[in-house]
Structure 1
Amino acid sequence: MDWFAVVPFVAEPSMRTSLTAAQDSPSTQRYGSVPPAPKQVEERSLVFEGFAYTCRIVHQDAPQTAPLVLLGGSSQNRYSWQGHERWLSPLCTLITVDLPGYGTSDFLPARYGIDFLAAAIKHMLVESGMPQVNLFGGCFGEVVGLRFAQLHPEFVRRIVFCGAAKRLPDIYTDAVPRLSHALGRGEIEAAADGLVQLFMSNPGAGKVRKHAAVARLLQQQFVNQTPDEIKKAVEHNTRLMMHGCYEPLPVPDVPSLVFTGEYDSLCTPQMGRELAETMPSALFTTVKEADHLVTVERRQESSDLIGRFCTDRPIDDLPYCNAVESLDAGLLACATHRR
């Protein structure tokens, strides 16, 4: 699971190229995709409360919906979503960010919690002149995105969360001491093995697209991390253990969707449902043949799902999803998303 990584899942440029090639097979079906549009890419260097950070904005001059903020896992950076741009950038302006403490931004001590990161998102939107956005949060990005939506609801038009939970999974809290100990002894390969097992489903659980290829890439990226990246990742785990990942605050009543891979063993589908039940009128679904790394394993399909929801197109009966559920007061029922 990206947001609980012991080290950040950040690819060097050559690794990102390899990952793109592994995912974009010519035989992949296209679900409502549109041709890429000319785009203007802007990198903005910002400072919040003394900490420097950077956001990346892919501008769309003829948007179909509000700008889309993509908050990835702790192990992702502002470039991790470039492979999704071919499907999402024609729809709207895209914003990705290395928040303080992540990616290439300044180191952030663990005493700064989730509220601080949520406030940094508000700072980024104010500085960028974006009064309202569609909000996507995957893995740890959901933790920060939910807190942002709770504390600053006036900025949020729609919410999409992926690989999400409102509690730290037991397998994470059990694994972190072992992995940290392995890192302390310099046993990077052993720690990498543990990380892959944490993030990815057991191969016997069910068919997962590109399971072996993604597992190899994840391990490769782990063993190639810099000391700075490892330091930030360890501080990230300390931050989560100190501050937790959820506060029972009101969630804005806006169109909301929670999804994950059907074989997600870290943030299980049931955990996603539990989170969706805290959100007014939320929908929930699972993507077929995927686990926690659904946005990596099924990049085109997850992009299509996000794009459809953010442009008010139906998401029921999609061939790559299981049934869409409406979660209202804890009652589950099949629903059609038409707004």
Structure 2
Amino acid sequence: MRTAVIAAQDPPRTGRSGSLPSAPERAEERELAFEGFAYTCRVVRQREPRTAPLLLLGGSSQNRYSWQSHEKWLAPLCTMITVDLPGYGTSDFLPAGYDIDFLADAVQHTLTEIGVPEVNLFGGCFGEVVGLRFAQRHPESVRRIVFAAAAIRLPDLYQEAVPRLSQTLARGDIEQAADGLVRLFMSDPEAGKVRRHAAVARLLQHQFVNQTPDEIRKAVEHNTRLVTHGCYRPLPVPAVPALVFTGEYDTLCTPQMGRELAAAMPGALFTTVREADHLVTVERRQESAELIARFCTDRPLDDLPYCTPVEVPRDGSSPTPA
């Protein structure tokens, strides 16, 4: 098992909360193996944390480096953990026969290997699918939950697009597949004002067009895994503080789908971020990072100018951790 050290980004010189938090340590990378599949996690440690370590599980097209742009707001507050689970990023290919339970257990394996008993859990898009199953299977490891751009059922748009996109990728028509993926993930420009819509669309297009053969193979297998095994099981969810948010113009995992997810979690809060769609954590990086940070440090979410009023879709109040 090898540990590599990579410099973390510098923390901000000033902050909205007043005094400057402690600078994070350098990032370390751990090469791990679970059930015979090699994978890699990245840890940016904070010597003087204000809250539990934050585990970020991103979408299927994201990897352990996708959250580096959020580090300047989050790493000064707590230790940050990102991971390329088996079948994603640079980790080993994972056949679609391995389901979401397997990935959830791989998350627990990660925490055991790096010596972190409890985390604040963030899951975005597909990361929510794995994160929720992880919380259901390993509730003792979860302090708080934040999900973004997520749902407890596969969106109709996704199920309709998967066969078409898989066939397009299989025949090597990357440009056409990239066009389809951008349309799938991003809202129609006519739906409403979305920050950085054109720039993010170009970024996605570039990312999809430049996928390696290994990334394409994993993407096809990922789609097969989701369609085969589904994304949700009605298992108990730990009664910890929880927040679900999405962009107000998310057309893939719509705000109503986000409310459904929040309603399946005891006392979960729900809000939408203004001028954003499914790519809310990219289009509004600072705001989404602040929302995560505020929730994980028990600060109020009321009256944030970039959010709609906070809702509680399920009866009950959000509990406060000890």
Deviation at 1:328, TM superposition (A): 2.0
Match of 2:211 in 1: 225
What percent identity do the matched residue pairs reach? 75
- Structure 2 residue 156 is the aligned partner of structure 1 residue 167: no
8 Å Cα contact 1:31/1:304 also seen in 2: no
Deviation at 1:303, TM superposition (A): 0.1
Cα separation, 2, equivalents of 1:337 and 1:250: 16
**Deviation string, structure 1 residues 316-336 (Cα, Å, up to 9, x no partner):** 10011111001224x9xxx99
- Structure 2 residue 264 is the aligned partner of structure 1 residue 306: no
Deviation at 1:99, TM superposition (A): 0.2
In the alignment, residue 150 of structure 1 is paired with which amino acid? Answer: Q
Q: Structure 1: where are the runs of 5+ without partners?
A: 1-19, 21-29
- Structure 2 residue 234 is the aligned partner of structure 1 residue 243: no
8 Å Cα contact 2:241/2:320 also seen in 1: no
- Structure 2 residue 262 is the aligned partner of structure 1 residue 282: no
Cα separation, 2, equivalents of 1:298 and 1:275: 22
Deviation at 1:297, TM superposition (A): 0.2
State how 1:49-198 maps to structure 2 within 5 Å. 49-198=35-184
Change (3 A) 1:35 1:178: farther
8 Å Cα contact 2:136/2:236 also seen in 1: yes
**Deviation string, structure 1 residues 163-203 (Cα, Å, up to 9, x no partner):** 01000000111111111222233222111111111000000
In the alignment, residue 58 of structure 1 is paired with which amino acid? Answer: V
**Deviation string, structure 1 residues 292-315 (Cα, Å, up to 9, x no partner):** 000000000000000000000001
TM-score if structure 2 supplies the norm length? 0.92
In the alignment, residue 152 of structure 1 is paired with which amino acid? Answer: H
8 Å Cα contact 2:266/2:314 also seen in 1: yes
Cα separation, 2, equivalents of 1:166 and 1:198: 18
Change (3 A) 1:256 1:95: same
Cα separation, 2, equivalents of 1:68 and 1:38: 13
Match of 2:30 in 1: 44
- Structure 2 residue 180 is the aligned partner of structure 1 residue 208: no
In the alignment, residue 95 of structure 2 is paired with which amino acid? Answer: P
In the alignment, residue 269 of structure 1 is paired with which amino acid? Answer: P
8 Å Cα contact 2:24/2:45 also seen in 1: no
Instruction: Give runs of ≥4 in structure 1 deviating > 6 Å.
Output: 335-339
Cα separation, 2, equivalents of 1:270 and 1:228: 35
8 Å Cα contact 2:108/2:138 also seen in 1: yes
Aligned residue pairs, count: 308
Cα separation, 2, equivalents of 1:185 and 1:40: 42
- SS of the aligned residue for 2:307 comes to coil
Match of 1:328 in 2: 314
TM-score if structure 1 supplies the norm length? 0.87
Match of 2:243 in 1: 257
In the alignment, residue 133 of structure 2 is paired with which amino acid? Answer: R
8 Å Cα contact 2:52/2:118 also seen in 1: yes
Cα separation, 2, equivalents of 1:124 and 1:147: 15
**Deviation string, structure 1 residues 8-45 (Cα, Å, up to 9, x no partner):** xxxxxxxxxxxx9xxxxxxxxx7548757242211111
- SS of the aligned residue for 2:223 comes to helix
Root-mean-square deviation (Å): 1.9
Higher RCO, 1 vs 2 (CA within 8 Å, ≥6 residues apart): 1
**Deviation string, structure 1 residues 21-71 (Cα, Å, up to 9, x no partner):** xxxxxxxxx754875724221111111110111100000000000000000
8 Å Cα contact 1:52/1:106 also seen in 2: yes
**Deviation string, structure 1 residues 126-182 (Cα, Å, up to 9, x no partner):** 111111110000000000000000010000000000001000000111111111222
In the alignment, residue 201 of structure 1 is paired with which amino acid? Answer: S
